[in-house]
Amino acid sequence: MKPRDRVLAAVNGKEILPVPVDVFENWFHPRIQTDLQRRLGLSETDREELLRALGAELRWGFPIYVGPPLEEAPFQSAATYPFTKVYRGIWGTWEGLETYTEELFRPLAAVESVAEIEAYAWPDPDWFDYGTLTWQGKIMPVAEWAQQTADYARVVGGFNPVFSRVMELYGFETGLVNTALRPDLIRATVAKIGAFLEVYYQRLAESVRGHADFLGMGDDFADTKGVMIHPDRWREIYLPLWKRLFDIAHRNGLKPLMHMCGSVRAVLGDLIDAGLEVFEVVQVTAHGMDPVELKREFGNHVTFYGAINTQNTLPHGSTEDVRREVRDRVDVLGRGGRYILSSMHVLMDDVPVDNVLAMYDEARTYRPQ
């Protein structure tokens, strides 16, 4: 079977061995990528060659931004993620810092009325070229991208959050206070974010119809203990929008794939009922995210993507620790299909090369008894 066939069979509930694997969203932090390429004797300028060597069975493409020039920040990023520049993004917040610190400019922090939210300079979906995708540093028309990735399961889209975006716009403290005391402001903000995302995903889905398999989305609304607002309030404010976005995927022959970090178990069933088909990350270190329990409760209804521990096992464990964890995930999450093995977040520079190679080697060779 070709990689695409293996992935789709697993997502549809067939037990596939060895389990399908991916490199998390097809990217690495810079040093680990270079170290892997050197260890394997590969070109240091060809990430696709590295993906093939590790056996990644999905390929990810993203629409091209063609809107107004974005303002570069007058300061450098000290963030964990290896962005070379910080810039003011399409939502008016600083991108590339990956932080909710209250010290940064939060454009909606002082708003007091829905009218102010209506008047804010919201982004325009016309700022993206949906017929062209970026892939491994290359820019190409959708049809060409699809032809070059035809053997693989293909994902388009990416992390376009709603809850996280609200917190970036207001600042975390103000965003949480307004959720409790001024939910009218939060609902109006979510409506504006949603108006953009519904057009963005509809245009993207139409453009890739017949050329892709999954529509990638994402939001981080949970920490390691649980959903960061009461689950009932989250269901009221945020869930209806996610259902509409999942419906866009289904209407265009695509499967919704959603990135969610943290302890999302309290609302995972709600998202599945709304149409979610692939749950990406599976942060097994968070409360209530035990793989055995997740598989028992949701395993007949959603595909798990990820679950190999990037907080402890991969950076700090031995190669045997990594292999043992891979076997455990295959035994549990891989039973009956609906599992794509990957690290539970991007491979960072603190992960030893030997551990990365052990993860993919064990995934290729292990067969449950």
Strands (E), 219-319: 255-260, 278-281, 303-308
Determine the pLDDT at residue 72: 86
pLDDT mean across residues, the chain: 95
Mean pLDDT, range 43-57, rounded to an integer: 96
Q: Tell whether the torsion through CA atoms of 177, 182, 185 and 186 is positive or negative.
A: positive
Confidence of residue 62 (pLDDT cuts 50, 70, 90): very high
92: left (phi over 0), alpha (psi -120 to 50) or beta: left
Q: What is the mean pLDDT of residues 319-348?
A: 97
Q: How many domains does the chain have?
A: 1
Is the CB of residue 309 less than 8 Å from the CB of residue 328? no
What does pTM read for this prediction?
0.96
Task: For residue 83, name the pLDDT band (cuts at 50, 70, 90).
Answer: low
Any idea what the CATH number is for the domain that residue 178 is in? 3.20.20.210
Residue with tokens 């035990």: 290
* DSSP annotation string for 33-85: HHHHHHHTT--TT-HHHHHHHHT--EEEEEEEE-SSPPPBPSS---SSS--S-
pLDDT at residue 362 greater than cutoff 60: yes
Query: pLDDT-based confidence at 97, cuts 50/70/90?
Result: confident
- Determine the average pLDDT of the residues in 68-88: 74
Percent of residues, the chain, with pLDDT higher than 90: 90
Which domain covers residue 76, as residue numbers? 3-365
Residue whose C-alpha is closest to residue 90's, from 116, 65, 64, 118: 65
Which of 79-93, 206-220, 282-296, 306-320 has the weakest average pLDDT? 79-93
User: From CA 308, how far away is CA 326, in angstroms rounded?
Assistant: 7
**pLDDT single digits (tens) 173-204:** 999 999 999 999 999 999 999 999 999 999 99
Across 319-333, average pLDDT: 98
200-257 pLDDT, tens digit per residue, is 999 999 999 999 999 999 999 999 999 999 999 999 999 999 999 999 999 999 999 9
